[in-house]
Amino acid sequence: MSSKFRLRWPVDDRTITQHFGENPHVYAQYNQAGHEGLDFRAPVGASIYACADGVVFDVRPNDGNAYGLHVRIRHRVNGCEYRTIYAHLSKVLVSKGQHVRASGLIALSGNTGHSFGPHLHLTLKLIGAKTPGYPDGVVDPLPYLQEVEIPAPSDLTIYTTDQVRLRARPTTASAQLAWLDRGEALTVLGDAGGARARVGQRGQWIQVQRADGMDGFVAAWYVQLQPPSPAPPEPTPEPEPAPAGPLVVYATEALNVRKGPSTGTSRIAIALPHEPLAVIGDQEAALTVLGDRGEWLQVRLPDPSPAPSTGSRRGSEQRGLKGYVAAWYVQTEPGPAPDTLLTVYPTEDMNMRERPAVSGRLIGRLAQNAPLTVHDDPERARPLVGRYDEWLYVETEEGQRGWVAAWYVRIQPPSFALPEPPPELAEAGPLVVYATEALNVRKGPSTGSSRIAIALPHEPLSTIGDQRAVLSRLGERGERLQVRLPQGNKGYVAAWYVQTEPGPAPPPALTVYPIQDMNMRERPAVNARRIGQLAHNAPLTVHDDPERARPLVGRYDEWLYVETEKGQRGWVAAWYVSTTPM
C-alpha cells in the first residue's frame, strides 16, 4: 500500500484549463513565476469536493482578495502537513473547524476574486517545501492527482552522490518534491535489476522511496550502490571553493540560445553540451534557479572565432555572444564532446544571418561548396538539410558562426539539376496544388510569420486568387501563394515548393502520446491560443514527415503538428510527448 498523499478530483469535469507554472507574464504581477495551482473547468454552481480527508481551517469571504470566496483545508499524512485551497467559489457549504472526508461536498464553484471566468482554482501546499518562484509550500498538484500505481519496495538500496532533487516524474521538467541530502539512503521501488543497471547513467531515472515514506524519482547519474565514503577528518583544512570567476554551466542537450528569456524570442545560437556557458549577473541567484522549470539564465557563449589581432577594442573575456538559455536544461558538469558533427555545402553562393530568418541581419557571405560544420546534434540537424523553411546553425572553416537556410545546402557537395519547367495552364476552377515535401503553412506571406499548419504532399491545397496570376508564380523562388487547407483554414505556402500533381501517399505516420494532460495550441508557441485539451497517453498522429518529426520528440523548445483521434489538428509541445505510452 502506498503512503503517498493523493488528491481526489475536486470537480466532476476532468478538464484542466490551466496548469501549474503556465502564463508567467500574467502572474508576474503577483511576483510569481507562473500559475500557482491548477484550474479546473467548472460552471458556476458546480459541486466542489474535498481532495482528501482533512479539517477546514479557514473560510474567507470575497473581500477583494485574489482568490475571492475560498476554503482552506489542512491534511496531515505521515508527519507531513498538506493544505488545499479551493478558490473563486460562489457558495461555501462547510465551516471552520469542520472535519471533511475525501470527495465530500464542500462548496459550489463560482467566478469571484481575480478570475477570468467561472472555474475552480486549486492550490496545494506542502509545509516545508519550496518551489522557486512561488510562495512557501506551494507545489504542483498535478502529480498528486494522477492515478499512478506505485511499485512495491525492492531490497535494493542506493545512495545519492550529491544534494539532489526528488522529483514527481522521471524528468527534470517535473515538480520538485524534496531535496535529498548527499549520501541519503533510498529504497528502490519496483524492478531492482533494472534500477541497478541504470545507476550512474546520465538521462536515466530511478523510482525510490525515502525513509519517511515519500516516493518519487531521482536522477540515476546522481546515485551509487555504495554509501559515500565518510567526510575527511576534521583537522584537514578544507580549501574554500574559490567563488572568483563566473559560474559556468553546460547544456544537457543541443539547446537553443535565445535573445530574451522566453521561447517567444528569436534564436541566436545553439549551445552543445561540452561548451562552457558563463552565467552573467548574480551567481547566487543563478545557482538557486539552476534546473528549475520556467527559469532562464543569461549566459555568454564561448567565442569560436580566432583571437583578434592586437588593437581589438574589447578584452578577450568580453568576447562571445550573449543570450538566454532554459535553466532546466543546463547543469554544472560538462557533457561529452560530440563524436562527429554534420558537414553541409551551399548549393550556391549564399548568406549567413544573425538569426534563423530571412529578415535576420546579414553577417557573412558563403561561397558555393564551402564546407560548413553544423553546430547542432547531427540527429536533429540531418533531417532539416535541403528542407524549405528550416535553418541550420553552422560554423565556417574560418570559425565564424551563424544561421543558413537549410534549403540552400546539401550533405554532399552539390551537382546542379535544372528546375522543373512550370506546368501548363489548367482549366477553370480554383487551381489545386500539392506540397513537394512536408511544408510549413504560415499565417502571412513570409518565413517570419507564424506557422499554422503543415501540409503533406498528398493533400490538395486550393489556391486563392486569379488562376493565371497563381500559375505565373508557381515554382518561382521567393513567391508565396495563399491557399485553403482541406480543413478549411487559410494560409500561405512557398510557391517553389508546390506542384500541380499530388505527391505519393505518406509513409506510415508517427504516433506520439502525451506524458501528462496537455494543451493543443493554434500555433507552435506557449503563448498561442489554446484550442484543445489532450489526455495523458491519448494517441496523436504527427501530421508531418516522420523522418523530420521523430528527432523532435521529447526535445525542449520544439513543437509537433498533430491530429487527434477525433480529427482535430493543432500544435503540441514536443517535450511533453513520447513515442510510447508512459
3-state secondary structure 16-35: EEECCCCCHHHHHHHCCCCC
In angstroms, what is the minimal distance from the CB of 218 to Zn ion? 30
Give the start-end residues of each E strand in 98-243: 99-100, 105-109, 119-126, 138-139, 153-160, 164-167, 176-180, 185-189, 205-209, 215-219, 223-224
The residue among 39 and 184 lying less far from Zn ion, judged by its C-beta, is 39
- Give long-range contacts, CB 8 A cutoff, 24+ apart: 358-364: 358/405, 358/446, 358/447, 358/448, 359/446, 359/448, 360/266, 360/403, 363/400, 363/402, 364/396, 364/400, 364/402
The residue among 175 and 270 lying less far from Zn ion, judged by its C-beta, is 175
Report which DSSP code applies to 468.
H
In angstroms, what is the minimal distance from the CB of 37 to Zn ion? 5
**Chain centroid to CA 375:** 21
Asked if 38 and 21 count as a contact pair (C-beta separation under 8 A), the reply is: no
Q: Residues in the site for Zn ion, rule: CB under 5 A?
A: 39, 121
The residue among 67 and 217 lying less far from Zn ion, judged by its C-beta, is 67
The residue among 7 and 384 lying less far from Zn ion, judged by its C-beta, is 7
Q: Which residue has the cell 493533400?
A: 459
> Within 13 A of 386's CA, how many CA atoms are on the CB side?
11
In 3-state terms, what secondary structure has residue 328?
helix
Query: For residues 465-484, b (16+ Cβ closer than 10 Å) or e, as one string?
Result: eeeeebbebbbeeeebbbbb
CA dihedral for 362, 496, 493, 526, sign (positive or negative): negative
In angstroms, what is the minimal distance from the CB of 268 to Zn ion? 34
The residue among 118 and 151 lying less far from Zn ion, judged by its C-beta, is 118
CA distances from 466 to 346, 462, 482 (A): 35, 12, 11
In angstroms, what is the minimal distance from the CB of 35 to Zn ion? 6
How far the first Cα of the chain sits from its last, in Å, is 22
The residue among 142 and 433 lying less far from Zn ion, judged by its C-beta, is 142
Asked if 243 and 286 count as a contact pair (C-beta separation under 8 A), the reply is: no
Enter the C-alpha cell of residue 303: 567565442
In angstroms, what is the minimal distance from the CB of 40 to Zn ion? 9
In angstroms, what is the minimal distance from the CB of 108 to Zn ion? 17
Query: For residues 400-416, b (16+ Cβ closer than 10 Å) or e, as one string?
Result: bbbbbbbbbbbeeeeee
Q: Which residue has the cell 518519487?
A: 216
The residue among 121 and 442 lying less far from Zn ion, judged by its C-beta, is 121
The residue among 20 and 324 lying less far from Zn ion, judged by its C-beta, is 20
In angstroms, what is the minimal distance from the CB of 121 to Zn ion? 3
Asked if 106 and 98 count as a contact pair (C-beta separation under 8 A), the reply is: no
The residue among 121 and 167 lying less far from Zn ion, judged by its C-beta, is 121
Q: Residues 6 or more apart from 563 whose CB is under 8 A from it?
A: 540, 541, 543, 569
The residue among 67 and 393 lying less far from Zn ion, judged by its C-beta, is 67
The residue among 439 and 518 lying less far from Zn ion, judged by its C-beta, is 518
In angstroms, what is the minimal distance from the CB of 57 to Zn ion? 21
In angstroms, what is the minimal distance from the CB of 17 to Zn ion? 9
The residue among 117 and 128 lying less far from Zn ion, judged by its C-beta, is 117
In angstroms, what is the minimal distance from the CB of 561 to Zn ion? 29
Single-letter amino acid, residue 389: D
In angstroms, what is the minimal distance from the CB of 570 to Zn ion? 23
Enter the C-alpha cell of residue 539: 494517441
Q: Using CB positions, name the residue nearest to Zn ion.
A: 121
In angstroms, what is the minimal distance from the CB of 109 to Zn ion? 12
Nearest CA-CA partner of 90 in 43, 132, 49, 129: 43
